[in-house]
Amino acid sequence: MHRSPRPSNVEIRVDDHALTGHAGLLLTGELATRTDLVARLDRAIDGVRPFKQRRRGSSGGELLVSLAEMMAVGGDHLVHLNELREDEAGAELRAVGEVMAPTTAGQLMRRLNARQCQGVVAELAKIAEEVDGELGLTASGPVTLDLDSSDTEVYGRLKQGAAFNHRGQRSYDSQLATWAERRRILAAELRSGNLTDHPTAIKVLRRALKALPQGHGPVRARIDSGFESVAFFKEMRRREVGFTCSLKRTPALHRLRTEISSRAWRPALLMPQAEIAETTHTPTGWEHEPLRLIVRRVRIPVEELSEDPRSRRRRTVPAEQLALALKGRVEYVYGYSFILTDLQGAAAEIELWHRQRGQMEERVKEVKLGDGLLHFPLGTLKANRAWQTAAVIAHNLIALLSAVVADVNHRRLREQLEQSPEPPPRPAAARVAAHNTKLVRRWLLAVPGRVLHSGRRVVLRLAQSMLWAATFTAVYQRLRLFTSSA
């Protein structure tokens, strides 16, 4: 294999004013323009309380969208706004061309209150509904709501509203409700990390249900043990929302588990070494029929048990079995999980459906590792709530962009099928429809390009070797076909 010699000396020049490292913000910028995103968020903010007090300066919508654009290309701190500020070539591609200084953004974020942030997320859901309409997606089918909470550790004793959680970390707690079929966040709440009551969870549920489009199908919710509350169960019953809920492993539940006949256990679906059985349970304060309690047990060889007492799998093993395992008196133990539900149908299918709520864990991970919610950089709760709102905007913009990519790929496949009787191979670009934030950023957003001007035209030149160049162009042309609301 012939290898070209490496250059002995490379001259570096930083003088190309036409080059941008974020050419993909053309796509989110076009999406924002076609949906009139900034102006609509401004109206949602000002409908609660006027935000902009001077003729000069940025509006609330410009503030949040510029933060979202920064997060979409990998920024996770206010100082990363400077990367967009210095990117003069990419300014006309973005939704917000003039980016404010980090210090100015921090000051403006303190002006946004909780109701304004809630209004922004609600308006974002309406915008997403319109994009669904452009793509021919209907909401008449069943809806799955995934509700989860996640602690984010913060540092510094002066973080307003932060508190120590059960792990001894000073943190905030983010509560999120997502529409699983659309992979979008419908409602969000930020609160102290040590709160254990659930009134905010009920509010998040109500806002998520209100954000669903008219004519949607029956709603079912999957929740984890952090939302375990009879008040929350009652609210879902009043709203006609069927639910499954992971329960904390209490002695009372283990007593119910021991009453299950050994013949009642059946193999779980798509989970080796796992079995399920069913009984009933009536939580204290529940005034309706006894609820179904689905118990899952997983056989764990002793050698696979972690020596770390904080191990998540180890905590699923009852204390008496764990003691025998540590003494070497048994070869395997069982880890148990408990699911409370009011749904009808086969227990194995319900358990499998509830287990798929792991998709929500992926959404949380993407918001934290991909969309800027890995930490909260400001000192006040109001400002950090605005930061979380910007992260929700970034996450949903990427989800919408992913839906456009899926639509483009579907059209491409249909055209290939019409031209050839043989089914074409699935293009690699279809993977982006699964909404992996890092994948979208790597191949579509944080890509280099040169912005040139010819007459009255703007020309964006991409690298000839760009693997997703055809997808990039097709997505932009598809966005151009949207009915502009501007």
- The 10 Å Cβ neighbour count of residue 158 is 7
Considering 132-136, 153-157, 415-419, the range whose residues carry the highest mean pLDDT is 132-136
Checking if the pLDDT of 412 tops 90, the result is: no
Estimate the share of the chain in helix, then strand, then coil, as percent rounded to the nearest 5.
Answer: 45, 20, 40
Checking if the pLDDT of 421 tops 80, the result is: no
| pLDDT at residue number 426 | 52
| pLDDT at residue number 273 | 94
pTM above 0.75, yes or no: yes
Checking if the pLDDT of 430 tops 50, the result is: no
- Distance separating alpha carbons of residues 169 and 436, to the nearest angstrom: 29
| pLDDT at residue number 341 | 98
Summarised one tens digit per residue, pLDDT across range 248-307 is 999 999 999 999 999 999 999 999 999 999 999 999 999 999 999 999 999 999 999 998
* DSSP string of 331-380, one letter each residue: SEEEEEEEEEE---S-HHHHHHHHHTTHHHHHHHHHHHHTSSTT---SSS
| pLDDT at residue number 369 | 73
Summarised one tens digit per residue, pLDDT across range 2-58 is 677 888 899 999 999 999 999 999 999 999 999 999 999 999 999 999 997 666 788
Lowest model confidence (mean pLDDT) among 197-211, 389-403, 438-452: 197-211
Q: Which of 434, 471, 463 is nearest to 183 (CA)?
A: 434
Say whether 166 sits in a helix, a strand or coil: coil
Which token pair is 363?
């959404």
- What is the pLDDT confidence band of residue 165, given thresholds at 50, 70 and 90? confident
Checking if the pLDDT of 428 tops 50, the result is: no
- Distance separating alpha carbons of residues 364 and 329, to the nearest angstrom: 40
| Cβ partners under 8 Å of residue 222, min gap 6 | 144, 145, 146, 147, 180, 243, 244, 245, 353, 354, 356, 357, 360
- Distance separating alpha carbons of residues 145 and 229, to the nearest angstrom: 17
Query: If you average pLDDT over every residue of the chain, what do you get?
Result: 91
| pLDDT at residue number 427 | 47
Summarised one tens digit per residue, pLDDT across range 316-359 is 999 999 999 999 999 999 999 999 999 999 999 999 999 998 77
- Distance separating alpha carbons of residues 206 and 232, to the nearest angstrom: 11
Average pLDDT rounded to a whole number, residues 127-131:
96
| pLDDT at residue number 425 | 57
Summarised one tens digit per residue, pLDDT across range 439-472 is 889 999 999 999 999 888 999 999 999 999 999 9
Which token pair is 356?
């798929």
